[in-house]
């Protein structure tokens, strides 16, 4: 038995990939372990989306070097260090140059080759093995049949890569071209997850609503149709999907929200900015009004839909007036939750070379005004839940004795008094108190 420690950064796709790397390494005798100190293999599954995310990797590698040396000197055991994910893809050679103690570098589309890479390693020679190909073969066809237990709520990647090329974004370069798995493969994996105890499945893709996988009829199916099909799978109680692009929000998907009870009333639909000038410079390919029209149609279909979004402040050339447009859009839409970031220059992306970069201090000011508005909307949304009844999926043991945590249909974290026997159950509860980032509830009993 060998101990495998994986540290995951970035988006849900990396969380999914980390689980699949665990599956790939299981036949070689690796079992998941909770700490790097005494691990035989440490994998950093990295994110390149913003500068801070990438830099974290190198500081972590510094710490791991010490652990590796200690393991070798004190107990004569070799600790293999692997860098996976989007930084690996973007900076493969650079990583082994800056951190020669790294044994393997593997990109997000080639990690099914890890077992083969391990055989090429010679710890005595201290060589590094790098594989950042975008292979001909598709990794999903080479991943092991076995899916390890994932818990009551699990991710399932159905789509990868991106062809949209937003001017700020590294994803098309780190993840490659858009690709959709077949309906049969997705359904097969969903059944395995259910058999292992999963009740809520979140379908993943960098552009998940651009999904166009081959259906059983040989035709390409969209995400709406896939969701209908998955809702029929025995044991799939709840469905979600993320992340979507406004341009791919077609009618079938909008009506899926209305027609599929298992599809939760929550949608993450990033807009990034509210100014048409900035949206165009970002290459988002839609206007603010077009985005709002989509939101209105969604709300016509599902009036209680909770919305979430992503925002970037300080994109090159963004003026105070442009930023005011973002605040106006947020005001108009009203989000239940949101993520907002200062624009970060990413090497190799079109916007990184723009001359009209926005001052850091201006970015900080804008970010705090935007977050203030988004926070107040989130609080108002959560407050509106007080006194209501919801079905909560019990996910984890809470921090305090006798406390459990679960997830509401609207993606809120919910704390309540309960016990471990309730894990994986969907229980009716009444929301007693709202906080900024969570709810408190009590279980409703039938008597």
Q: Which does 50 bind (CB under 5 to 8 A by kind): ligand SAH, ligand SF4, ligand F3S, none?
A: ligand SAH
Q: Applying CB under 6 A, does 49 fall inside the site for ligand F3S?
A: yes
Residue 181 Cβ, how far from ligand SF4 at the closest point, in Å? 18
Residue 49, class by beta-carbon neighbours within 10 Å (0-12 exposed, 13-18 middle, 19+ buried)? buried
In the complex, the smallest distance separating the C-beta of residue 436 from ligand SF4, rounded to whole angstroms, is 26
Joined together, the tokens standing for residue 381 give: 């949304």
**Mask: binding to ligand SAH, 220-249, rule CB under 6 A, as x and -?**
-----------------------x-x----
Quick one: 49 or 434, whose CB is closer to ligand SAH?
A: 49
Strands annotated E in 266-336: 266-268, 306-313
CB of 353 to ligand SAH, least distance (A): 13
Q: Could you tell me the smallest distance in angstroms from the CB atom of residue 160 to ligand SAH?
A: 11
The one of ligand SAH, ligand F3S, ligand SF4, none whose footprint includes residue 85, by CB under 5 to 8 A per kind, is ligand F3S
366 binds ligand SAH (CB under 6 A): no
**Out of 132, 344, 377, 412, which residue is the one contacting ligand SAH (CB under 6 A)?**
344
Sequence-ordered list of residues with C-beta below 8 angstroms from that of 122, at least 6 positions apart, any chain: none
Return the number of the residue (367 or 392) whose C-beta is nearest ligand SAH. 367
Nearest distance in Å: CB 154, ligand SF4: 22
Q: Is the torsion defined by CA of 64, 69, 75, 80 positive or negative?
A: positive
Give the one entry of ligand F3S, ligand SAH, ligand SF4, none that residue 344 binds, where binding means its C-beta sits below a cut-off of 5 to 8 angstroms depending on kind: ligand SAH
Q: Is 225 in the site for ligand F3S (CB under 6 A)?
A: no
In the complex, the residues that contact ligand SF4 under the rule CB under 6 A are 162, 164-166, 169, 171-172, 206-207, 245
272 contributes a contact to ligand SAH by CB under 6 A: yes
Interaction pattern, residues 293-332, with ligand F3S; x per rule: CB under 6 A: ----------------------------------------
- Selected range binding ligand F3S among 6-14, 23-31, 256-264, 431-439, rule: CB under 6 A: 6-14
The DSSP H or E segment spanning 406 is: strand 403-407
Beta-strand pair 213-214/200-204: unpaired
Collect all residues with Cβ–Cβ distance below 8 Å to 138 and sequence separation of at least 6: 179
Which helix (H) or strand (E) element contains residue 238? strand 238-242
Q: Contact letters (x/-) for ligand F3S, 143-172, by CB under 6 A?
A: ---------------------------xx-
Residue 326 CA to its chain's centroid (Å): 24
3-state DSSP assignment of residue 57: helix
Q: Is the peptide bond before 406 cis (omega within 30 degrees of 0)?
A: no
Q: Which does 57 bind (CB under 5 to 8 A by kind): ligand SAH, ligand SF4, ligand F3S, none?
A: none
CA angle 408, 410, 414 (to 5 degrees): 30
**Using CA atoms, how far apart are residues 220 and 228, in angstroms rounded to an integer?**
14
The DSSP element (H or E) to which 389 belongs, if any, is strand 389-397
Residue number with CB closer to ligand SAH (225 or 245): 245
Give phi and psi for 143, each to the nearest 5.
-80, 150
CA distance 447 to 442: 14
Q: What does 43 interact with, of ligand SF4, ligand SAH, ligand F3S, none (CB < 5 to 8 A by kind)?
A: none
Q: Does 381 bind ligand SAH (CB under 6 A)?
A: no
What is the rounded CA–CA span in Å between residue 108 and residue 102?
A: 17
Comparing CB distances to ligand SF4, the nearer of 134 and 255 is 134
The SS3 of residue 32 is strand
Query: Of ligand SF4, ligand F3S, ligand SAH, none, which one sits near residue 14, judging by CB under 5 to 8 A according to partner kind?
Result: ligand F3S
233 is written with which tokens? 């799978």
Cα four-point dihedral sign 56, 284, 92, 146: positive
Is the CB of residue 87 less than 8 Å from the CB of residue 54? yes
Number of other CB atoms surrounding residue 82 within 10 Å: 27
Strand ranges for 122-205 from DSSP E:
129-131, 153-157, 159-160, 179-180, 200-204
Q: Which residues pair with 374 in a beta bridge?
A: none
Q: Which stretch binds ligand SAH (CB under 6 A): 40-48, 142-150, 317-325, 336-344?
A: 336-344
Site for ligand F3S in 70-99 (CB under 6 A): 85-86
Interface residues with ligand SAH (CB under 6 A)? Answer: 49-50, 168-169, 171, 206-207, 243, 245, 270, 272, 310, 312, 341, 343-344, 346
Interface residues with ligand F3S (CB under 6 A)? Answer: 10-11, 13-14, 47-49, 85-86, 170-171, 174-175, 206
């Amino acid at each position: 038995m060998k101990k495998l420690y994986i540290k995951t950064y970035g988006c849900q796709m990396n969380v999914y990939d980390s689980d699949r790397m665990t599956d790939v390494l299981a036949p070689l005798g690796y079992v998941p372990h909770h700490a790097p100190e005494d691990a035989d293999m440490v994998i950093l599954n990295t994110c390149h989306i913003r500068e801070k995310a990438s830099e974290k990797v190198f500081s972590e590698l510094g710490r791991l070097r010490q652990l590796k040396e200690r393991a070798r000197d004190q107990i004569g055991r070799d600790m293999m260090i692997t860098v996976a994910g989007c930084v690996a893809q973007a900076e493969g050679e650079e990583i082994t140059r800056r951190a020669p103690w790294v044994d393997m570098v593997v990109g997000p589309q080639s990690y099914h080759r890890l077992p083969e890479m391990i055989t090429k390693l010679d710890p005595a020679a201290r060589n590094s093995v790098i594989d950042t190909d975008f292979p001909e073969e598709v990794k999903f066809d080479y991943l092991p049949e076995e899916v390890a237990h994932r818990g009551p709520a699990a991710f399932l990647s159905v789509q990868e890569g991106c062809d949209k090329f937003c001017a700020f974004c590294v994803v098309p370069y780190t993840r490659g071209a858009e690709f959709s798995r077949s309906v049969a493969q997705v359904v097969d994996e969903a059944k395995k997850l259910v058999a292992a105890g999963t009740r809520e499945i979140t379908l993943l893709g960098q552009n998940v609503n651009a999904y166009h996988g081959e259906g059983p009829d040989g035709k390409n199916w969209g995400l709406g149709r896939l969701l209908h099909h998955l809702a029929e799978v025995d044991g799939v109680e709840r469905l979600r999907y993320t992340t979507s692009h406004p341009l791919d929000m077609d009618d079938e998907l909008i009506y899926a929200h209305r027609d599929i009870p298992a599809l939760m009333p929550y949608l993450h639909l990033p807009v990034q900015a509210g100014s048409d000038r900035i949206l165009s410079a970002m290459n988002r390919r839609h206007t603010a009004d077009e985005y709002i029209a989509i939101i209105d149609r969604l709300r016509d279909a599902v009036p209680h839909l909770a919305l979430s979004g992503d925002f970037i402040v300080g994109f090159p050339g963004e003026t105070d007036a442009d930023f005011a447009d973002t605040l106006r859009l947020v005001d108009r839409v009203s989000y239940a939750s949101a993520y907002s970031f200062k624009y970060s220059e990413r090497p190799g992306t079109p916007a990184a070379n723009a001359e009209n970069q926005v001052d850091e201090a201006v970015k900080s000011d804008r970010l705090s005004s935007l977050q203030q508005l988004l926070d107040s909307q989130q609080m108002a949304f959560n407050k509106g839940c007080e006194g209501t009844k919801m079905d909560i999926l019990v996910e984890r043991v809470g921090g305090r004795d006798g406390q459990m945590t679960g997830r509401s249909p609207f993606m809120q974290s919910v704390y309540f008094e309960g016990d471990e026997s309730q894990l994986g159950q969907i229980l009716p509860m009444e929301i007693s108190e709202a906080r900024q980032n969570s709810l408190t509830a009590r279980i409703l009993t039938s008597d």
